[in-house]
Amino acid sequence: MMTKTTQSSHEDLWRGQGQLLPWFKPFTKVFDWQEPVASWFSDGQINASYACVDVHALGDRKNKIALYWEDEKGNSTSWTYLKLYQEVNRIADVLQRFGVKQGDVVVIYMPMVLESIATMLAVVRLGAAHSVVFSGFSSQALRDRIDDTGAKLVVTADIGLRRGKNIKLKEIVDVALETCTTVNSVLVLQRQEGLCSMVSGRDHFLHEVVAQDEHVYVQPLPFPSTNPLFILYTSGTTGKPKGIVHSTGGYLTYVRSAFSWTFGLNNESIYWCTADLGWITGHSCVVYGPLQFGATQFIYEGAPDFPYPSRWWELIEKYKITAFYTSPTALRLFMRFGQEWVERHDLSSLKILGSVGEVINPDVWTWYHSVVGQSRCPIVDTWWQTETGCFMIAPAVQLKHVLLKPGSATFPLPGIEPEVVDAAGQPVPHGTKGFLVIKKPWPGMSIGIFGDQERFKQVYWSKFPGWYYTGDYAVRDAEGYFWLLGRADEVLNVAGHRIGTAEIESAAVSVAEIAEAAAIGVHDEVKGEAVVIFAIVRQGMIVDEALRAKVVHVVRSQIGSFVTPRGVYFVEKLPKTRSGKIMRRLLKAVVEDSKIGDISTLEDEASMEYARRLMSLKLRCCND
């Protein structure tokens, strides 16, 4: 429970931040907390499309570049804020003619192209909610999300581009819709002629139905602050994906605040977030965060290391990127190639770096800082979730000087009150691992799971009543820094000792020959769980018994003898979800010869075949 004084200061903070937005009707109420839902700025009215586009296109930034875009083949284009405004209006006009209105959900299944961003902003211009589905998802995963939302309209493209290949998105949509009963219209962005079939009466090429007049205008009507903005599905570790719902005014306020306190985007910034639009990072850190500031962004379509390992560094040099935000997964990939690929390019434009998506190992942090940032760029290591809307624990480098510690997300942002607690909800001493909870409501918090508020309450608010349960383990050191240790279901219990997989993996990748590692726990008659490590070696390294012994020794010496790995398996790749998270349960199933379970979110295009290969593989520790 918040005290009256604390609650007053909490409200004052968010009142001031909320007033920075372009409200059509200013709010008078800051928030109403009815656990587990907080209604933020509930009597205010706003339009997210107006806040991200119109305020710039109708002002001094109309001729400023909003979006640069380039693909793997070197094709490129750019849109000014005026051009973005025109495209948003043209697409909104089409959606309106197809019956989209407030309360509807539009599913977007598109590649990383500028029209995808314009479509998201066109949907919310009409007061509808978008549900963006990552274009790497299968037809089954897409169908499940369409069915859950009850969407009547899907927007897609004929193809996407990945590693020099055309990914036939429209074909995937066609398969998904074979058993869908709600969808009656599909709008298709045509990128090349003759690459997809069209169903008469249902499918329409966007260029054939969009108004040719660039001056077409769809008025951005005022909608309640609490109006749903989007539904985004999380894969989760158990159960079916959850449709996380975010509202408009609270979410926009928090995203804007978080960016201001961390990246500090301004009129001169050229910002690149490498995330796909199908994830929360793409929503908050490509669309609704940067565009509120009128920043210039770079968008890339393609794989990070294609057609060569220096592709990203080449693009940073070419577009003079000042702020760069990516994942530890990508950084580990580049570390494996070697720093000479980075050093070929002039990265002197960079002013700030960011990390997102998972715990960043200290060795990866150090490489990022010294090699990419040339030891001069602060690293904004961000902890947050789909459910939280934007960064929660991260260095607020734009507010004050923060001494950075490799691997620590540092401190909570203003207005965020995290705590590390034991199973009974009692705060644990500094240096002790525990569950990470958030004790106060914040504007970016989810307002629920689409169609299942009981599940929302059960998953996030039942373990520690009144507090948001993150599902993560963390530890706070003597100076108050937060260190994230991964998911609570990725914490092993070895002989009564709890140890996070992230800690074991950090130790393993500190071995010079190791590029990436995944740690799992397997059943042990004596210890309860024993540690097994899967590791990828750097190019050119020799895999032998000596390397296995080295990994075992380093893990023992850095953490303790109780976590001595039972096995170290060297593999060419690790099974990951399309958001870059290692599917440890799949590795566990391989070792224990148990059922694989659901693999619909596996990154590999041939996920079923890949899983079967893993299951049939006789894994061996090195050469033994």
Instruction: Confirm if 436 and 442 have CB atoms less than 8 A apart.
Output: no
Mention every residue, 6+ apart, whose C-beta is less than 8 A from residue 118. 84, 87, 88, 91
Cα separation, 388 vs 114, in Å, equals: 26
Alpha-carbon 45 to chain mean position: 28
Which CATH number belongs to the domain containing residue 163 in this structure? 3.40.50.12780
Dihedral of CA atoms 543, 545, 546, 551 in degrees, nearest 10, equals 80
Dihedral of CA atoms 462, 413, 242, 580 in degrees, nearest 10, equals -130
For 403-413, the pLDDT digits (tens) are: 999 999 999 99
Instruction: Confirm if 395 and 404 have CB atoms less than 8 A apart.
Output: yes
User: N- to C-terminal Cα distance for the chain?
Assistant: 58
Among 455, 471, 487, identify where a domain stops. Answer: 471
Parallel/antiparallel/unpaired status of strands 31-34 and 37-40: antiparallel
The reply to whether 175 and 90 lie within a common domain is yes
The reply to whether 467 and 570 lie within a common domain is no
The two tokens of residue 397 are 């480098």
Place of tokens 């069209």: 198
> 510: left (phi > 0), else alpha (psi -120 to 50), else beta?
alpha
Dihedral of CA atoms 584, 587, 591, 594 in degrees, nearest 10, equals 90
Cα separation, 56 vs 80, in Å, equals: 10
The reply to whether 423 and 542 lie within a common domain is no
pLDDT mean values, one per 10 residues, the chain (624 residues): 60 97 98 95 98 97 98 97 98 98 98 98 98 88 92 97 93 95 97 94 97 92 98 69 95 98 95 95 97 97 93 98 94 91 97 93 94 97 96 97 96 98 96 96 97 94 95 95 86 72 88 93 80 93 94 87 89 78 82 67 48 50 41
pLDDT for 227:
98
Cα separation, 242 vs 244, in Å, equals: 6
| The one-letter amino acid at 85 | Y
The total number of structural domains that make up the chain: 2
pLDDT for 2:
44
Mention every residue, 6+ apart, whose C-beta is less than 8 A from residue 170. 156, 157, 158, 159, 188, 195, 196, 197
Residue 621 lies in a domain: no
Residue 7 parent element (H or E): helix 4-18
The reply to whether 152 and 8 lie within a common domain is yes
Burial 577-602 (b: 16+ CB within 10 A, else e): bbbbbbbbbbbebbbeeeebebbbbb
pLDDT for 624:
37
Which CATH number belongs to the domain containing residue 512 in this structure? 3.30.300.30
Residue 32 lies in a domain: yes
Number of H helices and E strands in the chain, helices first, is 19, 30
φ, ψ (nearest 5 deg) of residue 259? -65, -40
- How does DSSP classify residue 577? B
Residue 357 lies in a domain: no
Mention every residue, 6+ apart, whose C-beta is less than 8 A from residue 408. 381, 477, 481, 482, 483
Residue 556 lies in a domain: yes
The reply to whether 429 and 499 lie within a common domain is no
pLDDT for 607:
38
The reply to whether 565 and 611 lie within a common domain is yes
The reply to whether 226 and 106 lie within a common domain is yes
Residue 186 lies in a domain: yes
The reply to whether 555 and 407 lie within a common domain is no
Cα separation, 119 vs 97, in Å, equals: 14
Whether the ω angle into residue 111 lies within 30 degrees of 0, i.e. cis, is: no
Q: Cα angle at 475 between 471 and 479, to 5 degrees?
A: 145
Residue 377 lies in a domain: no
Residue 139 lies in a domain: yes
| Residue 563 belongs to domain spanning | 495-616
The two tokens of residue 597 are 């379970």
Cα separation, 391 vs 250, in Å, equals: 14
What is the DSSP annotation of 365-384?
Answer: HHHIIIIISTTTS-EEE-B-
Residue 337 lies in a domain: no
The reply to whether 18 and 65 lie within a common domain is yes
Helix axes 545-559, 501-509, angle to 10 degrees: 130
The reply to whether 452 and 501 lie within a common domain is no
- How does DSSP classify residue 229? E
Residue 542: Cβ-neighbour burial (10 angstroms; 0-12, 13-18, 19+):
exposed
Alpha-carbon distance values, 429 to 76, 423, 426, 474, 481 (Å)? 53, 14, 10, 12, 13
The two tokens of residue 304 are 């990070």
The reply to whether 464 and 553 lie within a common domain is no
Cα separation, 472 vs 490, in Å, equals: 9
Among 420, 438, 471, identify where a domain stops. Answer: 471
Residue 364 parent element (H or E): helix 362-367
pLDDT for 583:
81
Give which of 356, 385, 375, 93 is closest to 246, Cα–Cα. 385
Instruction: Confirm if 188 and 169 have CB atoms less than 8 A apart.
Output: no
pTM: 0.85
Cα separation, 298 vs 526, in Å, equals: 53
The reply to whether 451 and 559 lie within a common domain is no
